[in-house]
């Protein structure tokens, strides 16, 4: 029960619903025991005792009891359902909230489909046990306690004979639980992998089709699907082996009753009505005994689900606000890196090594280098997406960890190469960081990003609904909306991470002209592969293998004959070749 103890904060506030459900469950069980007693009186007094006038009254009493039981059952099931539903409502909210605050490090290894599976099927599996599993376990205990009490009243010896089979049942149930829990945990994990395959395939359908990899994806899905199927078959095999055995033990009880109970009736140590009532009571015991396997099955699934949910809830957030973190509406902004080193989780090599530089307010810093050289890592340390293993990142002379995460990140505008847009209107996408932005501010940001003209050509303009991830727009159009979103935020620090890689040279020039106004009095970091995107920077940092190997202005670096000059020469030759091809 350790899993359920760890999750009790989510269901304990609603214990009044659970207690109400259990009270009515006990009441329903108590009423159920009345049935055999009425049956015993009917046979012994009404039939054998020839008191036929009692029978109509006993029948009416029986109908009345059934009506009361029906009402009590409704209340019990309704409150039980409400207990489970309201509990997982809080749990689902907490899981989603936790995912918002987990660091990038967590998502570096997490699978989207698996996380979706945890927030849907695992939460639902836990809810099902809260709504039905707990009540079934307590129903089992209540039923056995009350039934055995009445059975002892009728015949102590016959009751002990009936109980002979219970130790065998306990052994079978224990063995069943030992096998079924790992099996269900395996099913949950396999289902998460299956979800991941589906999610990745749908998200990357353009890549799949463009490379004609449909058959490969089908094959990959079939492997995951077959694993899921095999695990389900294995679980069904366990169930199929143990369920008949449980039923056999239950039926053994009935054989004992018929044999030994008949002997007691013949020798007048038990009345016919008492034997029939006793038989009915054993039937009430056999049902929960047989269903015990199903209840354990449900418990095992719920336990496996709970463990997977706890993996999220107990994940270390790592990056969080310090006590007394500074809340600032606007930072000044001087940025400084002091001997900063970072190593990503699971990576033996250091992403950046002993990096130091300073960017004063209003300066434009360009970062260039090969893929994986550490350019983007610099910006991710500024926003505390990751924490350095050595050195310090300072903003306005303070370590970034001194600022609250919200105020720090609100002052930093990010435009990434892969521009993510939400399935909403263009207007709400641009104003995502500032929901209170006026329409004039949204339009102004779009104009600076060279997005206004194409937006106005769309059927609904700024109210145009975008498809998933901005489906329906070109890569360049998505980048321009992302730039407008960063401009609308009005940040103190602007980070452009290959933000114009998907637009043509003419549009890039226009965007840069618009950004000159935006960059004024802001500290701007431009990450680019094209020198044309950053040659106007106040300082350019050239990265190789996580280190700064060159720094200076465009003209200075060209005269050094180093890596920057080589990059420029290669790009210049490419441009010359393109121009010759166009004119030749």
Three-state helix/strand/coil letters over 215-281 = HHHHHHHHHHHHHHHHHHHHHHHHHHHHHHHHHHHHHHHHHHHHHHHHHHHHCCCCCHHHHHHHHHH
d(CA 419, CA 437): 21
Alpha-helical runs (H) found in 102-122: 104-109, 112-117
Query: Pick from 570, 443, 567: which is nearest to 514 by CA?
Result: 443
Q: Give pLDDT, residue 340.
A: 92
Least confident of 143-152, 216-225, 233-242, 290-299: 290-299
Query: Pick from 68, 62, 23, 75: which is nearest to 280 by CA?
Result: 62
Q: What are the φ and ψ backbone dihedral angles of 151, each rounded to 5 degrees?
A: -65, -40
d(CA 584, CA 556): 34
Query: Pick from 486, 492, 489: which is nearest to 333 by CA?
Result: 492
d(CA 548, CA 354): 9
Q: Is 526 inside any structural domain?
A: no
335 compared with 286, residue with greater pLDDT: 335
Q: Is 443 inside any structural domain?
A: no
| pLDDT > 90 fraction of the chain, expressed in percent and rounded | 8
Q: Give pLDDT, residue 439.
A: 93
**Strand (E) or helix (H) holding 551:** strand 547-552
Q: What is the mean pLDDT of the chain?
A: 82
d(CA 386, CA 347): 14
Place of tokens 């054989």: 255
Q: Give pLDDT, residue 75.
A: 93
Category of 318 on φ-ψ map: left (φ > 0), alpha (ψ -120 to 50) or beta? left
From first CA to last CA, the distance across the chain in angstroms is 78
| pLDDT > 70 fraction of the chain, expressed in percent and rounded | 91
441 compared with 164, residue with greater pLDDT: 441
pLDDT-based confidence at residue 423 (cuts at 50, 70, 90): confident
Asked if pLDDT for residue 582 goes beyond 80, the answer is no
Q: Hey, which residues does 336 pair with through a beta bridge?
A: 358, 394
d(CA 157, CA 263): 12
d(CA 521, CA 43): 97
d(CA 251, CA 365): 82
Query: Pick from 250, 236, 140: which is nearest to 180 by CA?
Result: 236
List all residues 6 or more positions away from 112 whose beta carbon is below 8 Å from its beta carbon. Answer: 196, 199, 200, 203
The SS3 assignment for 373 reads coil
Mean local confidence (pLDDT), 507-530: 78
Q: What are the φ and ψ backbone dihedral angles of 515, each rounded to 5 degrees?
A: -75, -20
List all residues 6 or more positions away from 144 whose beta carbon is below 8 Å from its beta carbon. Answer: 285, 288
502 compared with 117, residue with greater pLDDT: 117
d(CA 312, CA 118): 9
Specify whether the CB–CB gap between 176 and 249 falls below 8 A. no
d(CA 417, CA 80): 50
Q: Hey, which residues does 392 pair with through a beta bridge?
A: 338
Asked if pLDDT for residue 65 goes beyond 60, the answer is yes
Q: Give pLDDT, residue 576.
A: 55
Read off the pTM.
0.69
Q: Give pLDDT, residue 341.
A: 92
Mean local confidence (pLDDT), 28-56: 77
Asked if pLDDT for residue 50 goes beyond 90, the answer is no
Least confident of 76-85, 249-258, 458-467, 517-526: 249-258
Specify whether the CB–CB gap between 225 and 195 falls below 8 A. no
Mean local confidence (pLDDT), 318-334: 82
521 CB burial (10 A radius; 0-12, 13-18, 19+): exposed
**Domain count for the chain:** 1
Q: Give pLDDT, residue 503.
A: 64
Taking each helix axis as running N to C, give the angle between helix 134-154 and helix 15-41, from 0 to 180 degrees, rounded to the nearest 10: 30
Query: Pick from 60, 188, 182: which is nearest to 119 by CA?
Result: 188
Q: Is 512 inside any structural domain?
A: no
- Output DSSP code: residue 44: I
Query: pLDDT tens, 182-220?
Result: 888 788 788 878 877 887 777 677 667 655 677 888 888
Specify whether the CB–CB gap between 177 and 296 falls below 8 A. yes
pLDDT-based confidence at residue 339 (cuts at 50, 70, 90): very high
Mean local confidence (pLDDT), 238-260: 79
Mean local confidence (pLDDT), 160-168: 77
192 CB burial (10 A radius; 0-12, 13-18, 19+): buried
Asked if pLDDT for residue 388 goes beyond 60, the answer is yes
* Sheet with 335-342, side-by-side order of all strands: 352-359, 335-342, 390-395, 398-399
Q: Which is it for the CA torsion 269, 273, 277, 279, positive or negative?
A: positive
Least confident of 235-239, 252-256, 372-376, 506-510: 506-510
Query: pLDDT tens, 85-124?
Result: 898 888 888 888 888 888 777 877 777 777 887 888 888 8
Q: Give pLDDT, residue 443.
A: 92
331 CB burial (10 A radius; 0-12, 13-18, 19+): buried
Domain of 271 in residue numbering reads as 2-313
Least confident of 131-135, 205-209, 224-228, 563-567: 205-209
Q: What is the CATH number of the domain that holds 249?
A: 1.20.1560.10
């Amino acid at each position: 029960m350790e899993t359920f103890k760890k999750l009790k904060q989510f269901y304990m506030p609603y214990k009044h619903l659970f207690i109400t459900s259990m009270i009515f469950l006990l009441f329903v069980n108590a009423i159920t025991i009345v049935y055999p007693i009425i049956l015993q009186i009917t046979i012994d007094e009404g039939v054998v005792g020839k008191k036929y006038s009692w029978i109509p009254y006993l029948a009416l009493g029986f109908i009345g009891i059934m009506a009361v039981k029906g009402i009590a059952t409704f209340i019990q099931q309704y409150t039980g359902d409400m207990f489970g539903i309201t509990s997982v409502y809080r749990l689902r909210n907490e899981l989603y909230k936790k995912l918002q605050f987990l660091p990038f490090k967590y998502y570096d290894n997490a699978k989207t489909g698996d996380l979706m599976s945890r927030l849907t099927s695992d939460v639902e599996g836990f809810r099902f046990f809260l709504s039905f599993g707990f009540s079934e376990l307590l129903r089992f205990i209540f039923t056995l306690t009350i039934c055995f009490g009445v059975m002892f009243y009728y015949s102590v010896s016959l009751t002990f004979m009936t109980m002979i089979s219970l130790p065998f049942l306990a052994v079978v149930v224990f063995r069943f639980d030992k096998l079924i829990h790992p099996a269900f945990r395996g099913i949950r994990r396999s289902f998460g992998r299956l979800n991941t395959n589906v999610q990745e395939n749908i998200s990357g359908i353009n890549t799949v089709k463009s490379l004609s990899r449909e058959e490969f994806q089908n094959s990959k899905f079939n492997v995951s699907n077959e694993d899921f199927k095999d695990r389900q078959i294995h679980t069904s095999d366990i169930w199929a082996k143990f369920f008949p055995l449980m039923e056999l033990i239950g039926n053994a009880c009935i054989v004992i009753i018929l044999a030994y109970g008949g002997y007691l009736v013949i020798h007048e140590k038990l009345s016919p009505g008492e034997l029939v009532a006793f038989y009915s009571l054993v039937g009430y015991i056999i049902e929960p005994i047989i269903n015990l396997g199903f209840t354990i099955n449900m418990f095992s699934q719920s336990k496996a689900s709970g463990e997977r949910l706890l993996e999220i809830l107990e994940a270390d957030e790592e990056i969080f606000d310090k006590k007394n973190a500074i809340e600032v509406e606007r930072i000044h902004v001087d940025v400084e890196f002091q001997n900063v080193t970072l190593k990503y989780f699971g990576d033996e090599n250091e992403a950046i090594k002993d990096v130091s530089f300073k960017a004063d307010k209003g300066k434009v810093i360009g970062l260039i280098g090969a893929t994986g050289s550490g350019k983007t890592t610099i910006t991710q340390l500024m926003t505390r997406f990751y924490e350095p293993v050595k050195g310090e990142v300072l903003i306005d002379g303070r370590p970034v960890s001194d600022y609250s995460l919200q105020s720090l990140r609100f002052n930093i505008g990010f435009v990434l190469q892969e521009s993510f847009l939400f399935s909403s209107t263009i207007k709400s996408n641009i104003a995502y960081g500032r929901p209170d932005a006026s329409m004039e501010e949204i339009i102004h940001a779009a104009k600076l990003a060279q997005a206004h003209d194409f937006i106005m050509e769309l059927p609904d303009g700024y109210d145009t609904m975008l498809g998933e991830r901005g489906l329906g727009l070109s890569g360049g159009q998505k980048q321009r909306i992302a730039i407008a979103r960063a401009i609308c935020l009005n940040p103190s620090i602007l980070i452009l991470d290959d933000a114009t890689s998907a637009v043509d040279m003419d549009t890039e020039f226009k965007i840069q002209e618009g950004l000159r106004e935006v960059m004024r009095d802001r500290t701007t970091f431009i990450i680019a592969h094209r020198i044309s995107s950053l040659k106007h920077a106040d300082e350019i940092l050239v990265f190789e293998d996580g280190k700064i190997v060159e720094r200076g202005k465009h003209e200075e670096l060209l005269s050094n004959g180093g890596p920057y000059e080589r990059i420029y020469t290669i790009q210049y030759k490419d441009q010359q070749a393109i121009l010759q091809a166009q004119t030749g």
